């Protein structure tokens, strides 16, 4: 890839996906993860609901899994604290 002759061999247009799956801020994480799983992709663009052409952020499978894990741990700690008090 360091060879200058290769730089113009393939351009972004040659491999870019034209019909991109997206999510909005209103979509739940389960729906996003399902889209990723079905399409076998690791990331989805988060777009504006009012303007689907406007990308707000990117959401990764790693982000979703981490968030679910954090919430599960938070719930476990909350239940543990409640059972200790009673």
Query: How far apart are alpha carbons 75 and 56 in whole angstroms?
Result: 29
CB neighbours (10 Å) of residue 46?
Answer: 17
Span 4-13, average pLDDT: 82
Query: How far apart are alpha carbons 1 and 77 in whole angstroms?
Result: 50
What is the tens place of the pLDDT at every residue in 22-43?
Answer: 999 999 999 999 999 999 999 9
pTM of the predicted structure, to 2 decimals: 0.73
Span 45-59, average pLDDT: 97
Taken in order of first residue, the domains within the chain and their CATH numbers are 17-85 (3.10.580.10)
What is the tens place of the pLDDT at every residue in 55-84?
Answer: 999 999 999 999 999 999 999 888 655 544
**Cα 74 vs. chain centroid, distance in angstroms?**
22
Say if residues 70 and 45 touch (Cβ distance below 8 Å): no
Tokens 């351009």 appear where?
11
């Amino acid at each position: 890839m360091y060879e200058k002759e290769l730089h113009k061999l393939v351009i972004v247009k040659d491999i870019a996906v034209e019909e991109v799956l997206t999510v909005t801020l209103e979509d739940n994480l389960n729906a996003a993860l399902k889209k990723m799983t079905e399409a076998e992709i690791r990331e989805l663009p988060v777009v504006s609901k009012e303007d689907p052409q406007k990308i707000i952020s990117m959401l990764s499978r790693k982000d979703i899994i981490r968030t679910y894990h954090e919430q599960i741990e938070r719930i476990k700690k909350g239940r543990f604290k409640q059972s200790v008090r009673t």
